[in-house]
Chain A
Amino acid sequence: MNDFREFLLFERSRQGKVGCPMPALDVPEVELESSLPEMTRAELDVFPEISEVEVVRHFTRLSQWNFGIDQGMYPLGSCTMKHNPRINEAMAALAGLANAHPLAEDSQVQGCLGVIHELQSYLCEITGLPYCSTQPAAGAHGEFTGILLIKALLDKRGSKRSIVIVPDSAHGTNPATASLCGFDVKEVKSDKHGRVDMEHLASMVNDQTAGMMITNPNTLGIFETNIAEIAEILHAKGALLYMDGANMNALVGKTRPGDMGVDVIHLNLHKTFSTPHGGGGPGSGPICCTEELAPFLPTPRVTKDGNDIYAWSNDFPDSIGKVHGWYGQFGVLVRALTWILTLGKEGLVRHTEHAVLNNNYLRKMLAPHFDIPYPAETLHETVFTDKRQQAHGVSTMDIAKSLLDYGFHPPTVYFPLVVPGALMVEPTETESRGELNRFARALMDISNRAASDPQSVTSAPHTTQIQRADETIAARQPILRWQPKTS
């Protein structure tokens, strides 16, 4: 009987065991402590002594107990866990791209520069904004870069505006970004439909407003139908509109942020553009912006001359400078470009439609069983709550844990903060109807059991390696590293 108890490598250590035996020294031995006294680790003796096969088995087992998009549906709302097509990997592995040296002369890496330039032009076309930087390494990094552009423009104008407005349903990174860039954050309320409260917004915007950060569709999956008016209100007072493009997968090919009046947006290549995500690879958060903001974009920028020759250029005196080394996350850029080229215009539109259709199919099936706090139509994701199950003492956390027993990764829980007990489900276009049915049946079964046998849900999961970790103790008294027993 395997009890699945997995010991740490440190706990497996036995004195004298070795993974790779070294040949005997054929040079005189040097005492390490005497030749490099300050650079020797005193605690080296606690490093595990262990054989190769034990290390291999340890990590293989851990990888098998992990759950990823390659194993099953991962409906983590707002995170857009879609399939990572294998052709993306094949292209990123092409020797000319994978082995290019970041310090190579421009003339030797025309292909790499071409990839960046071409991807940027597609991202501009998709967002309806004329300029792009692919330097930022993740969504929040893109936010940071975008808000720095706004700050640089305001500085150039000699304007000392200090306030950035953020909706109460925003991703936590939005207020964090504004704060990191030196702005004060003011929160605008949602109205009863789950959209920005227009009266509240109009009353807040004044000559101190630097800009607003908005996610569209917002974190409730609801399209901000007043987006053009929001842009007008801001622009009339000399403020700018930043769009968090985390949910851009609901819009690609259908409508463009540039046409809505957005001044700068970040895109998550690791969400919308199908590159690996969640431990599977680095992210990438390019930004696209208006001509007005373009002088401040990070350098170096890829330029293309009349003879189709690409080059890095630092000749942008107003630039905010570098936000990432070298080419940005170049391997991710290759994957995103591959995705765009594989699908083409029609394919991109179809994917957007399927993401929205899949969500609404699930919503329709689950609506009789789960509370939906905002009745407005949703695009790519829906926020449910545990309101009905709470009557039986079953919470969102219990429902999420119970889903593990059905082989699904749980949805995002307790976010957005405007919805108590939120369960945020985003199936993406990846899932087939059969898989959506299976997922919906699992949730319906959990809901039924919440009424008939609530204890079976509140004690879930029953089939996993670890049942419920004590998150409270973990947060209050975290054990951050293994320590040798002092006996």
Chain B
Amino acid sequence: MYPSEYRYTKDHEWINIEGNFAIVGITDHAQNQLGDIVFVELPEGGSTFTIGDEFGTVESVKAVAEIFMPITGEIDSINEALEENPELVNERPHDDGWMVRIRYSDPSELEDLMDHEAYEAYVEEESK
């Protein structure tokens, strides 16, 4: 269910490293908890954030949730498709529903994140 090459945060973001870039989205568990997503607010390309910063919000029929940077870096591009089709986050959270592409600087920040097995266990523990 959770791609093995990704890393995961306790706030339910996933991050996938592709060379000098990191792709970030929210996990299937996160979209499931939120319910039908109706709006995704993302930052402008070029803006810079520190790890842990809020960089956008996801609005569903139930709630508005913040999304946090899993790594320090500059926003290279955002998933423009989400503006018209926020349901992509519900339907394909781990690929087409990606949110931002980040040019990152410090790969050591990834060390504190969970791998897919640890994340799965974390979700299970959290929903008890």
Contacts and interface: CB of A to CB of B under 8 A. Distances in A.
A476 B33 contact: no
A420 interface: yes
Interface string B21-61: 00000000000010010110000000000000000000101
A417 B64 CA distance: 9
Interface in A395-442: 414-415, 417, 420
Interface string B68-105: 00000000000000000011000000000000000000
A414 B65 CA distance: 12
Contacts of A415: 63
B62 A414 contact: yes
B87 A417 contact: no
Interface size class of B (residues with CB under 8 A): 10 to 19
Contacts of B38: 472, 475-476
A172 B64 contact: yes
A475 B63 contact: no
Contacts of A472: 36, 38, 61
B61 A471 contact: yes
Contacts of A476: 38, 86-87
With most chain B CB atoms within 10 A of its CB, the pick from A172, A417, A476 is A476
Contacts, number: 20
Given A475-B38, A476-B38, A476-B86, A420 B61 contact: no
A472 B65 CA distance: 16
B36 A414 contact: no
Contact of B61 (A172, A417, A475): A475
Q: Is the interface of B mostly helix, strand, loop or mixed?
A: mixed
A417 B80 CA distance: 28
Contacts of B65: 417
Contacts of A471: 36, 61
B97 to A, nearest CB: 15
B79 to A, nearest CB: 16
Contacts of B36: 471-472, 475
A420 B33 contact: yes
A82 B24 CA distance: 46
A41 B63 CA distance: 39
Contacts of A417: 63, 65
A415 B63 CA distance: 8
Contacts of A414: 62-63
Nearest to A477: B38
Interface string A455-475: 000000000000000011001
A172 B87 CA distance: 24
Contacts of B87: 476
A476 B88 CA distance: 12
Contacts of B62: 414
With most chain A CB atoms within 10 A of its CB, the pick from B33, B59, B61, B64 is B61
Nearest to A413: B62
A187 to B, nearest CB: 9
Nearest to A414: B62
A329 B63 CA distance: 31
A453 B49 CA distance: 50
A420 B63 CA distance: 11
Contacts of B59: 475
A447 B109 CA distance: 47
A417 B62 CA distance: 10
A7 to B, nearest CB: 27
A203 to B, nearest CB: 15
A172 B59 CA distance: 13
B12 to A, nearest CB: 13
With most chain A CB atoms within 10 A of its CB, the pick from B38, B62, B87 is B62
Contacts of B86: 476
Interface in A146-196: 172
B90 to A, nearest CB: 9
A420 B38 CA distance: 19
A28 to B, nearest CB: 54
A420 B65 CA distance: 13
A471 B33 CA distance: 16
B43 to A, nearest CB: 15
Given A415-B63, A476-B86, 16 more contacts: A172-B64, A414-B63, A417-B63, A417-B65, A420-B33, A471-B36, A471-B61, A472-B36, A472-B38, A472-B61, A475-B36, A475-B39, A475-B59, A475-B61, A476-B38, A476-B87
18 contacts: A172-B64, A414-B62, A414-B63, A415-B63, A417-B63, A417-B65, A420-B33, A471-B36, A471-B61, A472-B36, A472-B38, A472-B61, A475-B36, A475-B38, A475-B39, A475-B61, A476-B38, A476-B86
Interface of B: 33, 36, 38-39, 59, 61-65, 86-87
Interface of A: 172, 414-415, 417, 420, 471-472, 475-476
Lowest 10 CB-CB distances: which A-B pairs, in order? A475-B38, A472-B36, A414-B62, A471-B61, A476-B38, A472-B61, A417-B63, A414-B63, A475-B61, A472-B38
